[in-house]
Amino acid sequence: MKNFERKLNDLAGQRADKLQAAEDALEAGNKTVYDAAMADVSNLDTQIKDVKTLMDAQNATPAAPAIPTTPAADNDADATERLRASNEYVRAFCRAVRMRATPTTAGGVDALRPLMNALTEGTNEDGGFLVPVDLQTRINELRRQLVDLSTLVTVEPVNTNTGYRVIDTHPTAGFTKTAEMGEIPKNDQPAFSRIGYTCADYGLIVPISNDLLEDNDAGLMEYLARWMAKKAVITENKIILALLATLVPAAVAAAGELAAIKKALNKGLDPDIALNAALLTNQSGYNCLDQLEDKNGRPLLQPDITAGSGYTLKQKHITMVSDSVLANAAAGSLMYIGDFKQFITVFLRKTMEFTATNVGGDSWRTNSTEGRAIMRLDAQKLDGSAAVALALAGGLDAAG
């Protein structure tokens, strides 16, 4: 660029000299010299214009696009999600399933590069690839056929396998009155506890027909979605219900359900927790509640107009799961009442990853490919006082 600027200055100087020569020749009446000088000026104008055009073009040329950094380099979760949502990623994922590729073997395959770009730092190279967002969306859609209890609790994405959260105790007394210039006491200090988590792998083997692998990508994705949807929900539900099972249920005699629920909301929970409380029970417990009526014979369960579906009791939303998911206790059908988002936090280390092989297991004998799906998570109680449990004896009677 500096060479062109120097040339432009030289041309401008020559043009000025030629103009001066033309002016002198015109004053002297020398037509021949004047015409020659003006011809030179015209030629210099063309050269100056050409140089300026080139310089303007260079100034207007956009910089070469920067090579996009992969999510593995910048740990950009949003960029990873955008990549997993692309059609290119879906095609690469289906190709990897058919090739039985893993992150260890896919490094040099250009067609699988989108999958490698989505792997974040700390990903187990012997594991698999993250499933496409499209498949994750289908999982969410199919989850509506099951009760996904993770929607009731807090789900927190984390970047490490282990960690902890610090929980403080709320004060129960105010400041101490002191006399002027008196010593201020230190007898009431905050107390903190650490809630640790350790994410573990939860996986399953998915048998895939080799005939299906030869079909289009849509059929393969639908098949995987049906399997993963149910397994993912069941996995999370079992972890959540295991924490709820640590609550000791209070026995409730038949016909005492409404009074027990009122007592739990009014006295068993802190008022701020009760404000956002919900009810979780099984089919037997729900059937028991569905028999409750007021003095005029009207059912106490009311449609939940805020949620658009389901029912409420005392303006608290009721979530029902099957008896096979939440089994009855010896004392009655179980019911949990509380703010479950305060009670439980699910620490999600990684969304589901997937890899496949046709070597080993039953795949060789059955002309199939075995896919392995793995998700990494943990769940912990953060506020053990945010929920209570009841055992409804009437639920067993109502269930027959």
Interacting residues of 249 by C-beta distance below 8 A, sequence separation 6+: 329, 331, 332, 334, 335, 389, 390, 391
Q: Which of 46-60, 219-233, 248-262 reaches the highest mean pLDDT?
A: 248-262
What is the average pLDDT score of the chain?
82
Q: Cα–Cα distance between 355 and 156 in angstroms, integer?
A: 25
User: Can you tell me whether residue 227 is helix, strand or coil?
Assistant: helix
Q: How many helices, marked H, and strands, marked E, lie in the chain?
A: 15, 14
Decide: 48 and 11 in contact? Cβ < 8 Å. yes
Measure Cα distances from 385 to 189, 196, 267, 271 in Å: 21, 18, 12, 12
CA-based R_g, the chain, Å:
37
Structure tokens at 252: 């409730």
2-28 helix and 31-60 helix, angle to the nearest 10 degrees: 160
pLDDT the model gives residue 396: 85
Q: Which residues pair with 244 in a beta bridge?
A: none
Which of 102 and 250 is assigned the larger pLDDT?
A: 250
Q: 185 has which bridge partners? A: none
Specify the 3-state DSSP secondary structure of 290. helix
Residues 343-372, mean pLDDT to the nearest whole number: 80
Cα separation, 113 vs 249, whole angstroms = 53
pTM to 2 decimal places: 0.69
Length of the chain in terms of residues written: 400
DSSP-derived 3-state class of residue 195: strand
> Rounded CA gap, 328 and 282, in Å?
8
- Read off the DSSP letter of residue 265: I
The confidence band for 133, taking pLDDT boundaries of 50, 70 and 90, is: confident
Residue 296 phi/psi, 5-degree rounding, is: -95, 10
Q: Say yes or no to pLDDT of 176 above 80.
A: no
Distance between CA 84 and CA 68 in Å, rounded?
Answer: 15
Distances in Å between the Cα of 375 and the Cα atoms of 151, 194, 204, 378 are 17, 25, 9, 10
| Mean pLDDT, range 37-62, rounded to an integer | 74
